[in-house]
Amino acid sequence: MKKNLLVLSGSVLLIAFSGLFFACYNGHAEKPEIVVVAFNIGINPGEGTGRTPPAQTVDAGTVITLPDGEGLERWGYTFGGWYAYAVIYSAGSSYTVTGNVTLNAKWNRIYSVAYDTNSGKGSTPYTEYGNVDIPVMLPDGSGLSKAGCAFGGWNTNKDGTGRNYSGGTPYVPANTITLYAKWDFILNLGDTGPGGGIVFYRNESGFTGRGRTSQLFHYLEAAPYDFPEKLEAASPGYDGIRPSSAEQSIGDGWINTNSILAQDTNAPAARACKDYRGSNDTDDWYLPSLNELVELYKRRAYVGNFGTERYCSSSNGTSSSSIWMIDFNTGSADNFQKRWGYLVRAIRAF
């Protein structure tokens, strides 16, 4: 057989046999680098459980499919993929191998999301748990209500000044948090209240009623009319008794009224207010405190049907036998004897 020997470029030897050429490398050409891709499911003991995916030995430049994390677990976390050198890769995604590398499991902490109805009525939604992998679906407010208000979503602050999130939307918690129901006020002064009275006071920040639950109130409504007759602040023989509560602030009338009746069951003014039910049969009417009566006087035009004489409050005066009154002709406040009769208007908070 005829044989020809050719040398090309000093690196490839060509040998021809009967017109067929064979090429042989002289050993100087580069070969692909062999690299190892390892996996770690937890840097510290107990951080991850399950079978660690086996290491893969491949040529540099090879594209591999990252393990999907099936069977990997960590208490209080969800599996969120793999990371190396601060770069995160999704589970099951393609990854181009460029060199030896260890890919660590990315664990995302699960956070609790608790709810507070913020003085609303209805069942408090159950605490939920979520993170970037499993967003929480915020309750839409169904079953929650608050007199004079409309549900306006969930807020990070109790007073509604934080970040607000709409109900019925996904929420990704970044930490453990309590979200508060946000209530939007829909009643104005002069509107009819839930008890059938007329709204004369509104406070969006809210006020508490001493002696009641931790409920926050935002409105005061007054009965549309006075009681038909003037009423005394105390029954005969009880006008020298000072009640255990004789406070004057907004929200104090309820406990004042009950304190009066605890010592004088038939105290005419307090009893009439306590027994009043209004057009909607509500049972939490009371004799207003001094400051509540002041607010009623200032906004009397919204309510109407007032006389021009003295109205009785539930705030005890400077002596045991006196009670604070407001003159609805002049607006002046003063102490007068409990045994005398006065005009009376019942109110309630909501």
58-95 as b/e: b if 16+ CB within 10 A: eeeeeeeebbebeebebeebbbbbbeeeeeeeebeeeb
Residue 245 pLDDT: 80
Counted residue by residue, the chain has a size of 350
pLDDT tens string 164-220:
999 999 999 999 999 999 999 999 999 999 999 999 999 988 898 887 876 789 999
Residue 19 pLDDT: 42
The CATH-assigned architecture of domain 111-185 is: Sandwich (2.60)
Domain 34-109 falls under CATH 2.60.40: yes
DSSP class of 135? -
pLDDT tens string 227-284:
999 999 999 999 988 888 889 999 999 999 999 999 999 999 999 999 999 999 999 9
Contacts (Cβ under 8 Å, ≥6 apart) of 128: 112, 113, 136
How far the first Cα of the chain sits from its last, in Å, is 113
| CA distance linking residue 245 with residue 241, whole number of Å | 12
The reply to whether 34-109 and 111-185 are identical in fold is: yes
Residue 215 pLDDT: 77
Cβ-in-10-Å burial (0-12, 13-18, 19+) of 350 comes to: buried
Task: Indicate the pLDDT class of residue 46, thresholds 50, 70 and 90.
Answer: low
Sheet with 347-349, edge to edge strand ranges:
198-208, 216-222, 347-349
Domain residue ranges in the chain: 34-109, 111-185, 198-349
Residue 30 pLDDT: 64
pLDDT(342) > 90: yes
Tokens found for residue 4: 């020809």
| CA distance linking residue 313 with residue 164, whole number of Å | 40
Query: For residue 127, which amino acid is it?
Result: T
- CA pseudo-torsion sign 22, 28, 29, 32: positive
More confident position, 100 or 210: 100
pTM (2 decimals)?
A: 0.66
Which phi and psi (to 5°) does residue 311 adopt? -110, 145
